[in-house]
Amino acid sequence: MTIDLQISRYIERWTTSPFAAADGQPWTIVRDAEALVRSAIAHLGAEYRIESDIAVHASATLEPGAVLKGPAIIGPHCFVAAGAYLRGGVYLDEECIIGPNAELKTSFMFKGSKIAHLNFVGDSILGAGVNVEAGAIIANYRNEQDDKRIRILFHGEVIDTGIDKFGALLGDGTRIGANAAIAPGAILPPNSRIGRLQLVDQSPSAA
Protein backbone atom coordinates (compact mmCIF):
# COMPACT_ATOMS: atom_id res chain seq x y z
CA MET A 1 0.00 0.00 0.00
CA THR A 2 1.43 3.36 -1.06
CA ILE A 3 -1.38 5.61 0.24
CA ASP A 4 -0.66 7.36 3.53
CA LEU A 5 -3.71 7.05 5.77
CA GLN A 6 -2.21 8.31 9.00
CA ILE A 7 -5.07 9.63 11.10
CA SER A 8 -3.27 12.90 11.85
CA ARG A 9 -3.60 13.85 8.18
CA TYR A 10 -7.39 13.77 8.55
CA ILE A 11 -7.86 14.80 12.19
CA GLU A 12 -5.76 17.69 13.48
CA ARG A 13 -6.46 17.01 17.17
CA TRP A 14 -5.13 13.46 16.93
CA THR A 15 -1.60 14.72 17.50
CA THR A 16 -2.52 16.21 20.89
CA SER A 17 -4.83 13.39 21.97
CA PRO A 18 -3.90 10.56 24.34
CA PHE A 19 -3.48 8.38 21.25
CA ALA A 20 -0.96 10.45 19.30
CA ALA A 21 1.75 7.79 19.57
CA ALA A 22 -0.57 5.28 17.89
CA ASP A 23 -0.91 7.33 14.70
CA GLY A 24 -1.28 4.86 11.84
CA GLN A 25 -3.87 3.03 9.80
CA PRO A 26 -7.38 3.71 11.14
CA TRP A 27 -8.54 0.09 11.10
CA THR A 28 -5.58 -0.85 13.28
CA ILE A 29 -6.49 1.89 15.76
CA VAL A 30 -10.12 0.80 16.09
CA ARG A 31 -9.03 -2.83 16.42
CA ASP A 32 -6.99 -1.77 19.45
CA ALA A 33 -9.53 0.73 20.78
CA GLU A 34 -10.28 -1.03 24.06
CA ALA A 35 -6.61 -1.25 25.03
CA LEU A 36 -5.91 2.33 23.95
CA VAL A 37 -8.82 3.75 25.94
CA ARG A 38 -7.94 1.72 29.03
CA SER A 39 -4.37 2.99 28.87
CA ALA A 40 -5.55 6.59 28.49
CA ILE A 41 -7.83 6.31 31.55
CA ALA A 42 -4.80 5.62 33.72
CA HIS A 43 -3.39 9.08 32.89
CA LEU A 44 -6.50 11.22 33.41
CA GLY A 45 -6.62 13.98 36.01
CA ALA A 46 -8.73 14.45 39.10
CA GLU A 47 -11.46 16.25 37.11
CA TYR A 48 -12.63 12.83 35.89
CA ARG A 49 -14.87 10.52 37.89
CA ILE A 50 -13.56 7.02 37.28
CA GLU A 51 -15.52 3.89 38.10
CA SER A 52 -13.93 0.66 36.94
CA ASP A 53 -13.07 1.35 33.29
CA ILE A 54 -15.42 4.28 32.68
CA ALA A 55 -14.16 7.86 33.09
CA VAL A 56 -16.55 10.82 32.95
CA HIS A 57 -15.41 14.44 33.16
CA ALA A 58 -17.07 16.46 35.92
CA SER A 59 -18.52 18.88 33.35
CA ALA A 60 -20.08 16.14 31.16
CA THR A 61 -23.80 15.34 31.23
CA LEU A 62 -25.15 11.80 31.12
CA GLU A 63 -28.94 11.67 31.02
CA PRO A 64 -30.76 8.92 32.91
CA GLY A 65 -31.16 5.87 30.70
CA ALA A 66 -27.86 6.26 28.83
CA VAL A 67 -25.88 3.02 28.87
CA LEU A 68 -22.08 2.97 28.99
CA LYS A 69 -20.05 -0.21 28.82
CA GLY A 70 -16.35 0.34 29.36
CA PRO A 71 -13.76 1.11 28.58
CA ALA A 72 -14.95 4.62 27.89
CA ILE A 73 -13.79 8.21 28.31
CA ILE A 74 -16.41 10.98 28.25
CA GLY A 75 -14.62 14.31 27.95
CA PRO A 76 -15.34 17.87 29.08
CA HIS A 77 -18.79 19.32 28.31
CA CYS A 78 -19.95 16.21 26.46
CA PHE A 79 -23.63 15.30 26.41
CA VAL A 80 -24.93 11.74 26.23
CA ALA A 81 -28.72 11.55 25.88
CA ALA A 82 -31.23 9.13 27.31
CA GLY A 83 -31.29 5.85 25.42
CA ALA A 84 -27.78 6.26 24.00
CA TYR A 85 -25.63 3.12 24.05
CA LEU A 86 -21.83 3.33 24.13
CA ARG A 87 -19.71 0.19 24.16
CA GLY A 88 -16.59 -1.61 23.04
CA GLY A 89 -13.96 1.07 23.68
CA VAL A 90 -15.23 4.63 23.24
CA TYR A 91 -13.49 8.00 23.45
CA LEU A 92 -15.32 11.33 23.40
CA ASP A 93 -13.15 14.42 23.23
CA GLU A 94 -14.55 17.82 24.30
CA GLU A 95 -18.11 18.99 23.60
CA CYS A 96 -19.27 15.86 21.80
CA ILE A 97 -22.97 14.98 21.64
CA ILE A 98 -24.52 11.52 21.48
CA GLY A 99 -28.24 11.90 20.82
CA PRO A 100 -31.20 9.81 21.98
CA ASN A 101 -31.17 6.15 20.98
CA ALA A 102 -27.86 6.45 19.13
CA GLU A 103 -25.31 3.64 19.40
CA LEU A 104 -21.56 4.26 19.34
CA LYS A 105 -19.39 1.16 19.25
CA THR A 106 -15.58 0.98 19.38
CA SER A 107 -15.11 4.53 18.14
CA PHE A 108 -13.30 7.81 18.72
CA MET A 109 -14.99 11.22 18.41
CA PHE A 110 -13.18 14.54 18.52
CA LYS A 111 -14.11 18.03 19.66
CA GLY A 112 -17.61 19.20 18.87
CA SER A 113 -18.68 16.13 16.90
CA LYS A 114 -22.29 15.00 17.06
CA ILE A 115 -24.39 11.98 16.24
CA ALA A 116 -27.97 13.15 16.36
CA HIS A 117 -30.32 10.30 17.20
CA LEU A 118 -31.26 6.86 15.90
CA ASN A 119 -27.73 6.43 14.55
CA PHE A 120 -25.34 3.50 14.56
CA VAL A 121 -21.62 4.30 14.32
CA GLY A 122 -19.32 1.29 14.55
CA ASP A 123 -15.52 0.89 14.62
CA SER A 124 -14.90 4.40 13.39
CA ILE A 125 -12.88 7.56 13.97
CA LEU A 126 -14.69 10.91 13.67
CA GLY A 127 -12.69 14.11 13.50
CA ALA A 128 -13.53 17.44 15.11
CA GLY A 129 -16.73 19.19 14.08
CA VAL A 130 -18.25 16.13 12.41
CA ASN A 131 -22.05 16.09 12.30
CA VAL A 132 -24.05 12.92 11.61
CA GLU A 133 -27.74 13.68 11.14
CA ALA A 134 -30.62 11.57 12.37
CA GLY A 135 -30.89 8.01 11.13
CA ALA A 136 -27.53 7.95 9.34
CA ILE A 137 -25.57 4.73 9.71
CA ILE A 138 -21.83 4.08 9.63
CA ALA A 139 -21.74 0.32 9.18
CA ASN A 140 -18.77 -1.79 10.27
CA TYR A 141 -19.35 -5.30 8.87
CA ARG A 142 -19.88 -6.70 5.37
CA ASN A 143 -22.83 -8.88 6.24
CA GLU A 144 -23.92 -9.08 2.59
CA GLN A 145 -20.67 -10.66 1.37
CA ASP A 146 -19.35 -14.19 1.80
CA ASP A 147 -15.84 -12.80 2.24
CA LYS A 148 -16.18 -10.36 5.13
CA ARG A 149 -12.67 -8.92 4.91
CA ILE A 150 -12.83 -5.19 4.32
CA ARG A 151 -11.16 -3.83 1.21
CA ILE A 152 -11.23 -0.17 0.25
CA LEU A 153 -10.92 1.36 -3.22
CA PHE A 154 -9.19 4.66 -2.55
CA HIS A 155 -7.58 6.92 -5.15
CA GLY A 156 -7.50 4.02 -7.60
CA GLU A 157 -5.71 1.65 -5.24
CA VAL A 158 -7.28 -1.31 -3.45
CA ILE A 159 -6.38 -1.41 0.23
CA ASP A 160 -6.80 -4.78 1.94
CA THR A 161 -7.24 -4.03 5.64
CA GLY A 162 -6.89 -7.66 6.66
CA ILE A 163 -9.76 -7.29 9.14
CA ASP A 164 -13.51 -7.80 8.99
CA LYS A 165 -14.72 -4.90 11.16
CA PHE A 166 -14.05 -1.27 10.30
CA GLY A 167 -16.48 1.55 9.74
CA ALA A 168 -15.00 4.85 8.60
CA LEU A 169 -12.38 7.52 9.06
CA LEU A 170 -14.17 10.88 8.83
CA GLY A 171 -11.94 13.91 8.51
CA ASP A 172 -12.51 17.11 10.46
CA GLY A 173 -15.65 19.03 9.53
CA THR A 174 -17.39 16.21 7.66
CA ARG A 175 -21.19 16.39 7.42
CA ILE A 176 -23.43 13.38 6.86
CA GLY A 177 -27.10 13.91 6.02
CA ALA A 178 -30.08 12.18 7.55
CA ASN A 179 -30.58 8.50 6.71
CA ALA A 180 -27.35 8.29 4.73
CA ALA A 181 -25.55 4.94 4.75
CA ILE A 182 -21.77 4.70 4.95
CA ALA A 183 -20.71 1.18 4.03
CA PRO A 184 -17.84 -0.50 5.91
CA GLY A 185 -14.41 0.76 4.98
CA ALA A 186 -14.92 4.43 4.11
CA ILE A 187 -12.24 7.12 4.08
CA LEU A 188 -13.67 10.65 3.87
CA PRO A 189 -11.29 13.62 3.77
CA PRO A 190 -11.88 16.73 5.89
CA ASN A 191 -15.00 18.77 5.10
CA SER A 192 -16.67 16.01 3.11
CA ARG A 193 -20.40 16.44 2.46
CA ILE A 194 -22.70 13.42 2.19
CA GLY A 195 -26.31 14.14 1.25
CA ARG A 196 -29.47 12.78 2.82
CA LEU A 197 -30.26 9.19 1.81
CA GLN A 198 -26.91 8.94 0.01
CA LEU A 199 -24.93 5.69 -0.04
CA VAL A 200 -21.13 5.80 0.25
CA ASP A 201 -19.53 2.46 -0.60
CA GLN A 202 -15.79 2.38 -1.32
CA SER A 203 -15.55 -1.38 -1.70
CA PRO A 204 -13.93 -2.51 -4.98
CA SER A 205 -16.99 -4.68 -5.56
CA ALA A 206 -19.18 -1.56 -5.62
CA ALA A 207 -17.10 0.21 -8.26
SS (H, E, C) the chain: CCCCCCHHHCCHHHHHCCCHHHCCCHHHHHHCHHHHHHHHHCCCCCCEEEECCEEEECCCEECCCCEECCCEEECCCCEECCCCEEEEEEEECCCCEECCCCEEEEEEECCCCEECCCCEEECCEECCCCEECCCCEECCCCCCCCCCCCEEEECCEEEECCCCCCCEEECCCCEECCCCEECCCEEECCCCEECCCCEECCCHHHC
Options 43, 57, 77, 117, the catalytic residue: 117
Q: Is-catalytic flag, 155?
A: no
Which residues are marked as active site? Answer: 117
